[in-house]
Amino acid sequence: MQANGQILRVIIVSFLIAIFLGPVVIPVLKRLKVGQSIREEGPKSHFTKAGTPTMGGIIIILAVIISLFTSGYYTQEIWAGLFFTIGFGFIGFLDDYIKVVLKRNLGLRAYQKIIGQLIFAFLLALYGSRHSAEGTKLIIPFINTYIDLGVLYIPFVLFVVLGTVNAVNLTDGLDGLNTGVTLIVMAAFSLIANSMKDESIIYEGISIFSAGISGACLGFLKHNANPAKAFMGDTGSLALGGAVSVVAVLSNMVLLIPIIGGIYFAEALSVIIQVLYYKRTKKRVFKMAPLHHHFEMCGWKETKVVAVFWIATVILAFIGIYSV
């Protein structure tokens, strides 16, 4: 009961902090003129969003940090969660800063981002192999058993973390889309970890950390839902990708990411299919990638795309919860 009370407290605190930080941080971002630039090849309806402050992910990160620091619950899992969330978020912050403050449209070069992500992904895989709830074992959904990857654990987790972080980043393209999807995903991981807390104390810390992320996303929706007053930018999307990854790795639920995070998976897969098919045939499978833009180009309103993707994530989350 005590753990459940702690989870609820962290959710409420991170939610309230994210809400109240908006009126403080957003005007600062406006003064710094860190407005979002819109791609010319993107949906025409997005042109009205030009100039909307980006780097709003700072609000999410601060809300999580403050809520966890004031929780009085300090465990190795909490520190690891914060470290990797902030680490990936810092890469996104550098990218955003170069793009919107230094006015270099491309931000960090692709190889620079990959190197930064590789470093943190490798550290997370190494850490998970030694300090996750079940070491190098992974939970296999639906059959309630584990598979021990042994020496293959680090390269496999490295690949999954890189894919997850970038998939979460690709999902950030519509008002409230990534924020809402990640809110649901982290709530699902929190519920699963909480149900397993009797097996290992590690799950309790994972559940509380996930709850902090979920609460911060819920609060940030106040500023990010359509019409968005601020975008999270790569600062927020890479931080959230890191948070999803660290929770999945430490709880040995990496194989649940394609289920609970099915929207992330679909978004990334749509980009891969589009690029490979276009290189081979000079034709496109989707009207535009990632997938959310395809539905926009099909005539769906932005709010409808977001709502459908949220509902799909809720369904996938329930499937994921009942698979373990």
State the binding site for Mg(2+): 169, 234
User: For residues 157 and 125, what is the distance between their CA atoms, to the nearest angstrom?
Assistant: 6
136: its two tokens: 């190098």
What is the Cα–Cα distance from 206 to 177, expressed in whole angstroms? 24
Return binding residues.
169, 234
Structure tokens, 33: 């003129």
**39: buried, middle or exposed (CB in 10 Å: 19+, 13-18, 0-12)?**
exposed
Long-range contacts of 275-283, Cβ-Cβ distance < 8 Å, separation of 24 or more: none
In DSSP notation, 14-36 reads: HHHHHHHHHHHHHHHHHHTT-BP
Query: Which amino acid appears at position 14 of this protein?
Result: S
Closest CA to 255 of 311, 320, 310: 320
Q: Which amino acid, one-letter code, is at 105?
A: N
Q: How far is CA 41 from the centre of its chain?
A: 25
Strand partners, 35: 53
Give CA separation, 164 vs 10, 117, 246, 269, 282, in Å.
Answer: 25, 11, 10, 11, 28
Q: Are 264 and 171 a contacting pair, CB within 8 Å?
A: yes
The two structure tokens encoding residue 3: 């753990």
Find the Cα–Cα–Cα–Cα dihedral 77, 78, 84, 85, rounded to 10°: 140
Let me know: does 316 contact 262? Beta carbons within 8 Å. Answer: yes
